Structure formats: structure tokens, C-alpha cells
Structure 1
Amino acid sequence: MPNIRSSADLRNNYNDISEFCHTYSEPVFITKNGKGDLAVMSIETYEQLAGRFELYGLIREGMVDVQAGNTRPLSEAISDLRSRRKR
């Protein structure tokens, strides 16, 4: 269940909200005038989320390459890596 707090709560109870974000690694949704306004999370949670998005993008690029036929046999790729390592 999402944690939803008002902007007044953010202003008046910053330490409690910060502690929650660090303890549970999930965002707190901040409302302003009864409507969603912000999502607040710890830096660690943000970095994990950003890293996931980056990984998903790289996986998507790989899937597009496979669909386009831009592949080669595993043995060839390993051989190429080994020859690069010896240089």
C-alpha cells in the first residue's frame, strides 16, 4: 500500500518521512491541495531505480539486435574476447 502524505507533513515531519524512505526503500507520495504532486525516495532507492531503467534499456537494445539478426555464434564471441585479453 503506498505511503501518501501531505505537503504539510513533509514540511512538519521531514525526519519521519526520511526515515521511512531509508527503512523501507520505497517512495512516499506527497499531495498538494489533495492531489498528487511529488514522489520522495532515498538516494539509494533512486539509484537502484535508475540503474534498473538503464539495464532495461540495454536489454531492449539487445533484443532489437537479436530481432534484426545482428548476432554471431557464442564460440566466435568468446574467441574474440580471449584474443583481446591477450593483447
Structure 2
Amino acid sequence: MIEIRPIKDLRDTTEISKLCEESKEPIYITKNGYGHLVVMSMETYKDKLAKADLYEKLAEAENQIKNGEKLLDAEAVFESLKDRYGK
């Protein structure tokens, strides 16, 4: 569930920290009734960043396919990795 808090709630850092850890979602902070900040735990940040990176790479691959760019052969890539690292 989306959590929206006024900026004055940041005074209680322990509560905000606990909320970030428990919700595993960003906490939206408002100032004068308008969106101002987003606060989240490091774990959530890393997870969201990893997902964003994955989606960016997938979008790039889809564009390469759509534009007819030369793509790598998966079997050749895996063979190259096996040759380089064994197994």
C-alpha cells in the first residue's frame, strides 16, 4: 500500500526507518500538501534499481530486434563462456 507522510514526520527518524524496512516500498513525503521527497530502505532501493536496470536492458534488446540489428547467438555466447571459464 502506498504510504504518504508529511515532511514533519521525518523528525521521528526511528519510525520512518521502521516503516521503510517493514513496507519494503518507497515512502512518499509531502511538503505543503505537494509531493517533495521519496524515502526508502537501502534494500528496497537496490531491488528497485536492479529491476529498472533489467527493464532498461530488455527495452534495449527489443529495440535492437525491431531495428534489425545483428544479435548475438545464445549458443555461441554460452560456448565462449564455457571455453573461458570451464564446465
Q: Percent identity?
A: 34
Cα RMSD (Å): 2.0
1:1-87 aligned at under 5 Å gives the runs 1-11=1-11, 13-67=12-66, 68-71=68-71, 73-85=73-85
Q: Deviations over 1:14-44 (max 9, x none)?
A: 1111101111211111111121111110011
SS of 1:45 mapped into structure 2: helix
Structure 1 residue 64 displacement after superposition: 1.7
Structure 1 residue 69 displacement after superposition: 4.0
Gaps (5+ residues) in structure 2? none
Say if 1:32 and 1:73 are closer, same or farther in 2 by CA, change over 3 A.
closer
Distance 2:40 2:60 in 1: 28
Distance 2:27 2:73 in 1: 47
Distance 1:74 1:3 in 2: 43
SS of 1:70 mapped into structure 2: coil
Q: TM (normalized to structure 2)?
A: 0.77
Number of residue equivalences: 85
Gaps (5+ residues) in structure 1? none
